[in-house]
Amino acid sequence: MRHASDIALIVVDVQPDFMPGGALACHEGGAVVAPIAALLAERRYRTVVATQDWHPPGHASFASSHPGRAPFETIALHGHPQVLWPDHCLQGSAGARLDARIDWSPADLILRKGTDPQVDSYSGFRENHGPGGARPSTGLAGWLRERGIAEVHVCGLARDVCVLWTAQDAAAAGFRARVLWPLTRPVTPDGDASTRAALAAAGIAVDGG
C-alpha cells in the first residue's frame, strides 16, 4: 500500500564504507541492507531520496588531515566541535558507491554530500558549520517542497550521526519527520539513548525499535 503522496523516504548513506569491514563501519551496519532493499522494491513511496557521502581526498573531517590526531578525537573546526573520522567515502572509490545489494532505481534524487574539502556534511538538508559559521543549505528542502512533500521518513546510516542530523534538519525546515529506527544502525550503540532523546526533543517520531 502506498503512503500518501506528500511523504518522502530519505535513505541516508547506505555505502560499503559504513558496512562491516568498511573504513568507518557502523555497528551491525549490514543489517539495514535487506529491509531497505525490500522497502524500495515495494514502491510504497512516490518520492525517494538517497544521500551519498562523497568526500575529496584530504577532507577536513579526516583525522589524517590533522597531524598528531587520531580517528574519533574531537577538535574545533570553524568554531564548532568536529569528530575526526577515518578516511572514508572517497569520491569515486568502491567504498563510496551506493550499496550494490540494493536496487536504487526507485530513487528520484541521489544527493552527494561532504564534497567541500573544508566542511563536513552529516545532514541531507544542510552542511555542517563552515568557515563563516553558517550551515549552507543543500537545496533538498526546496526540492521536496516543489514536489508537495510535507513529511519525511528517514532510514540508513549512521543512526547517531547522519540519520539524526537529517531528521533534525527536516523538522527544523518545517517537515513532519519520522525515523524508521529498525532500518538504521549507529556508529556505536552506546549513544542510542541520547539519540532517542535528541529526536524526541525535536518532535521527531520514531517507528519501531
DSSP helix/strand/coil, 158 = coil
**From the candidates 53, 87, 113, 169, which is the catalytic residue?**
113
| C-alpha to C-alpha distance for 196 and 194, rounded to whole angstroms | 5
- Verify whether residue 6 is a known catalytic residue: no
User: Within a 10 A sphere around the Cβ of 58, how many other Cβ atoms?
Assistant: 12
Q: Please, are residues 121 and 137 in contact by the beta-carbon 8 Å criterion?
A: no
Annotated catalytic residue: which of 26, 89, 155, 162? 162
Q: Which single residue is written with the C-alpha cell 532510514?
A: 155
CA distance 184 to 159: 5
Active-site residue, 190 included: no
Q: How many Å apart are CA 178 and CA 199, to the nearest integer?
A: 9
Q: What is the secondary structure of 14-70 as a DSSP string?
A: --GGGSTTSTT--TTGGGGHHHHHHHHHHT--SEEEEEEE-BPTT-TTBGGGSTT--
Extract the runs of DSSP E, i.e. beta strands, from the chain: 7-12, 47-53, 74-77, 80-83, 109-113, 151-157, 176-185, 205-207
Query: Which candidate in 13, 17, 53, 160 is catalytic?
Result: 13
How far apart CA 111 and CA 109 sit, in angstroms, is 6
Residues annotated catalytic, as ranges: 13, 113, 162
